[in-house]
Amino acid sequence: MLSAEENFQSQVPEPVFADGSSLVPSQRPFLCLERKLYGLGNVYGLAGNKYGWMVEVDPDAPAQQAVKHTALGRFRHEAVAVRAEAGQPLVVYSGCDRRGGHLYRFVSSKTVADLKDKANSRLLEEGELQVARFKPDGTGDWLPLRPDTAVDPFLPSRFDQADLACPVELPNSDREQAVAELFRDDASVQAYRERYPTLASLYRGDGAAMQGAILVDAHLAASAAGGTPTARPEDTKIDPISGDLLIAFTSGSPGSSGGADPEVFQGPEGQATWPNGWVMRLSDQGENGFRWRMAVTGGTPWAGGLGFTNPDNVAVDAKGNLWIVTDRSMKGSAGDVFGNNSCWFVPRNGGANGGQDETAACFAIGPMECEVTGVCLDRPEKTLFLAIQHPGEVHGSRQQGDEEFQAHELVDREGTAFQQLRQLPLGSNWPAQAPGRPPRPGVVAIRRSSGQLLLGV
């Protein structure tokens, strides 16, 4: 089982020096707020470069030491998809959950012999980490993250042309500094390229030590190599029928240190930013190429979306139907029209899977102020599991009578606008359903009372 934490940077310093060594723990100060703790690594003296890795644990051997797979790179791993085929290299896909984060692929040096052999884990020790470079025409390339890779960053003018005030984040041009540097014009990037023509000129060490420094600083190394800044790639899954990779990109909104390529991550009408997210379908082509297309688009139906926002995790059943769970922020009013986070069903014969018309249906709605995540099916596909995270995140425990009214303008199927008034509770008592009780996270299992297949077919 592979596991990672995408928000490690809130507890330990994320930046590293050119040789991969970490900042001192005090660079991430300890901070205790009403609902959150930051900088716990400072309290315990933890080095930041030890965190941000994909870790493997064996549930059948709980006493066995966990394995940190450093060849997969250090970044804000949100999820992982594994492609294992007999006689082929082991391939692992993962996204870096940040605005402007990249999509990565690891290809093992050796091939898989027996799909059931636990020794396949050793294949993750040797191989090549690559970053995706998307092209607007629906194609792309996997760029290797190795010392001889040319420095060729995404240019700030591509943001400027879309009227976006986004910088490009690169390893600091003063290689004695660990913190990233933000570039806002092409001339500065060109001067940077001339000064640092390859990743070897940016990182220090000999042989494996230099490769290690690149892997420790994978996000910035990928930015320097020309990896495409994307729209917060979260989950990755392999379609069991087509073999395509499905990627949940949760939001195309820009941030202070970067944003998504506006020529790739566009709204339904070509908008340069789209806050509601997508699910992309990617098909590897040849050794280092791929094709991609947006299979599912978030947003309101009258604006070209399927009705949900901010896809976070996905699952694919045996028939290729897509299940999506959402994670919109509950801390702002911009997405309130979408209501609570939820689980959606996208049938195989919809646009997400080769048809002409996208369709989606809301399958389940989460409690107040929660994130719905971890969607998965049991092997017979009679039960769907959902994880409910941080219910009551904004208002905490709901007290008797705590509520608010929201007015929203919606559009019906005929295109007629109308007003909707909603009466909403504030906070949550889930799963107790009793006022004053503290909300708690949990896992929900959804099945038919008859015991039949979940879809009934």
Exposure of 48 by Cβ count < 10 A (0-12 exposed, 13-18 middle, 19+ buried)? buried
What's the CA angle centered on 37, arms 31 and 41, to 5 degrees?
Answer: 75
Q: Which residue among 239, 266, 290 closes a domain?
A: 239
Instruction: Flag whether 263 is in a domain.
Output: no
Chunk the chain into consecutive blocks of 10 residues (it has 457) and report each block's average pLDDT, rounded to whole numbers: 94 98 96 89 96 96 94 97 98 98 99 95 98 99 99 98 96 98 98 99 97 99 99 97 97 95 97 97 97 97 96 96 95 85 90 58 97 97 97 94 94 95 95 93 96 84
Same domain, 311 and 447: yes
Residue 332 is given by DSSP the state: S
Are 37 and 169 in a shared domain? yes
* Domain total of the chain: 2
Q: Is residue 195 part of a domain?
A: yes
CA distances from 313 to 397, 398, 443 (A): 26, 27, 15
Question: Which residues make Cβ contacts (< 8 Å) with residue 226, sequence separation at least 6?
Answer: 131, 133, 143, 150, 151, 152, 153, 154
429 neighbors 420 (Cβ within 8 angstroms): no
Answer yes or no: do 230 and 307 share one domain: no
pLDDT of 90 reads 98
231 and 362 in a common domain: no
Domain-embedded: residue 260: no
206 & 98 share domain: yes
Question: Are residues 386 and 375 in contact, defined by beta-carbon separation less than 8 angstroms?
Answer: yes
And the tokens for 289?
């190429």
Same domain, 79 and 224: yes
Clarify whether residues 343 and 451 are in a common domain.
Answer: yes
- The answer to whether the beta carbons of residues 134 and 264 sit under 8 Å apart is yes
Segments forming the whole domain that contains residue 309? 298-457
Q: φ and ψ at 104, to 5 degrees?
A: -120, 155
pTM above 0.75, yes or no: yes
Where does a domain end: 239, 270, 287?
A: 239
Domain boundary residue, one of 239, 256, 282: 239
Assigned domain for 261 exists: no
> Residue 259: inside a domain, yes or no?
no
What pLDDT is attached to residue 350? 60
For residues 176 and 74, membership in a common domain is answered with yes
Report yes or no on 283 lying in a domain: no
42 is written with which tokens?
Answer: 């400072």
Same domain, 329 and 415: yes
Q: Is residue 352 part of a domain?
A: yes
Is position 414 within any domain? yes
Token output for 176: 């004695």
d(C-alpha 428, C-alpha 433), whole Å:
8
